[in-house]
């Protein structure tokens, strides 16, 4: 039994044994490794990919778009954000030796050396003498005469590891998909395990056009912490449209896409989610030349401008993305590099060794 299976069994034991007495909270944040996940191609298009097909990680944005016959079916992306403070990696691989087509995506995100100042305050009150019970002692505030003990400064890390397993099937003009996802979160001395379900739909309702639908956390997602706390996440609805036009003589293909997202998290009632504070728009434009060179532009859900380029050969493709965070955010810029390869090419190379 591998470690992943063991962790899943432990997760279910913790979940069902702790639910009757656990403190449950509806939260908005927690599955951020899935929210920020993607490759250089998807990020440069503003993540407007509910109708996207043909890549090793398309199922991450809509499980109905799984395609295990993608030529460049092995994928790796490294992402660095906030001036290198946050680093993440993403792997995408097809699973062919099953009755149904399966796509597996593995994500990891980590932040190191986060300052922990919880025990630094010398909370002795105005007289500076511990145990005297004077004004200000033990109130948790830095009062006049109090200070921080730099010797007690410590650091901790935060790590998230996510697994996304999906499959799809066709019926008429529609493609349906479902994805099971899990998240393992470590924050200092605390840890948690979670489970969620995504449902997708994809169809070509007009010539050269597509419509996509994604329901993230369709049954609400759970995150169970080792201290007994249970966090729950409400569904997110994404509707996407795309259209492409091909210019035959210069061999240029234009693909425009737009996704509209409704986030029900952070609202007391579902009806309240359809307001401007919980709705987002993502747009992308992909310009292909001769199926070899791609120029990409977009705007993501936080209105950050995105840009990217891609180069593709018979057995390998390389993509780069630049995400310019909002000017007043102070978050700097994000750079991504992605590599996709043909698994048959790798096997042939190994055989020659």
3-state SS, residue 8:
helix
- pLDDT score for 275: 46
**This prediction's pTM:** 0.80
Phi and psi torsions of 23, nearest 5°: -90, 115
**Beta-carbon neighbour count of residue 245 at 10 Å?**
10
What are the beta bridge partners of residue 143?
A: none
Q: Determine the pLDDT at residue 308.
A: 95
pLDDT, residue 271, reads: 40
C-alpha to C-alpha distances, 152 to 126, 142, 156, 248, 317, nearest whole angstrom: 21, 16, 13, 67, 49
Q: Which residues contact 292 (CB under 8 A, 6 or more apart)?
A: 311, 312, 313
Encode burial over 187-204: b for 16+ CB neighbours within 10 A, e otherwise.
eeeeebbbbbbbbbbbbe
Enclosing H/E stretch for 214: strand 209-216
What are the C-alpha distances in Å from 245 to residues 256, 281, 308?
9, 22, 20
Q: Per-residue DSSP letters for 89-141?
A: EEEEEEE-SSSS-EEEEEEEEEEEEEEE-TT-EE--TTTT-TTS--TTTTSSS
Which of 47, 45, 50 lies closest to 211, judged by CA?
50
| Domain 3-117+153-352, CATH number (from 2.40.160.40, 3.20.20.70, 2.40.50.220, 1.10.357.10) | 2.40.160.40
Walk along the chain (353 residues) and give the pLDDT tens digit of each residue.
445 445 555 555 555 454 555 577 777 777 878 887 888 999 999 999 999 887 888 999 999 987 655 778 889 998 877 666 778 899 998 887 777 788 899 999 888 777 777 776 666 666 666 666 666 666 666 666 666 667 777 787 889 999 999 999 888 889 999 999 999 998 888 889 989 999 999 999 888 899 999 999 988 888 888 888 888 888 999 999 999 999 988 889 999 999 999 988 755 444 444 444 588 999 999 999 988 999 999 999 888 889 999 999 888 999 999 887 666 655 667 788 899 988 777 777 676 66
Give the pLDDT confidence score for residue 87 in this predicted structure.
81
DSSP structural state of residue 272: G
């Amino acid at each position: 039994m591998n470690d992943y299976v063991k962790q899943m069994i432990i997760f279910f034991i913790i979940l069902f044994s702790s639910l009757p007495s656990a403190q449950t909270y509806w939260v908005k944040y927690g599955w951020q490794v899935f929210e920020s996940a993607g490759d250089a191609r998807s990020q440069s298009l503003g993540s407007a990919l509910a109708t996207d097909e043909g890549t090793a990680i398309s199922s991450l944005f809509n499980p109905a778009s799984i395609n295990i016959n993608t030529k460049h079916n092995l994928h790796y992306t490294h992402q660095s954000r906030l001036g290198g403070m946050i680093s993440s990696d993403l792997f995408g691989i097809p699973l062919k030796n099953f009755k149904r087509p399966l796509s597996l995506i593995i994500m990891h995100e980590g932040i190191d050396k986060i300052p922990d100042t919880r025990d630094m305050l010398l909370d002795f009150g105005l007289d500076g003498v511990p145990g005297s019970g004077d004004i200000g002692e033990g109130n948790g505030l830095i009062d006049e005469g109090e200070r921080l003990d730099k010797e007690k400064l410590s650091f901790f890390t935060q790590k998230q590891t996510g697994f996304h397993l999906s499959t799809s099937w066709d019926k008429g003009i529609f493609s349906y998909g479902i994805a099971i996802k899990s998240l393992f979160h470590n924050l200092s001395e605390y840890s948690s395990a979670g489970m969620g379900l995504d449902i997708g739909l994809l169809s070509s309702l007009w010539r050269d056009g597509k419509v996509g639908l994604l329901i993230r956390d369709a049954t609400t997602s759970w995150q169970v912490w080792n201290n007994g706390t249970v966090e729950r996440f409400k569904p997110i609805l994404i509707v996407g449209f795309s259209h492409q036009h091909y210019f035959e003589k210069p061999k240029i293909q234009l693909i425009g896409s737009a996704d509209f997202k409704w986030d029900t998290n952070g609202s007391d009632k579902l009806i309240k989610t359809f307001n401007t504070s919980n709705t987002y728009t993502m747009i992308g434009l992909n310009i292909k030349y001769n199926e070899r060179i791609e120029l990409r532009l977009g705007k993501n859900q936080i209105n950050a401008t995105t840009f990217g380029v891609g180069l593709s050969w018979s057995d390998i493709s390389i993509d780069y993305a630049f995400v310019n965070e909002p000017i007043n955010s102070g978050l700097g810029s994000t750079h991504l590099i992605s590599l996709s390869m043909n698994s048959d090419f790798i096997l042939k190379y190994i055989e020659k060794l």
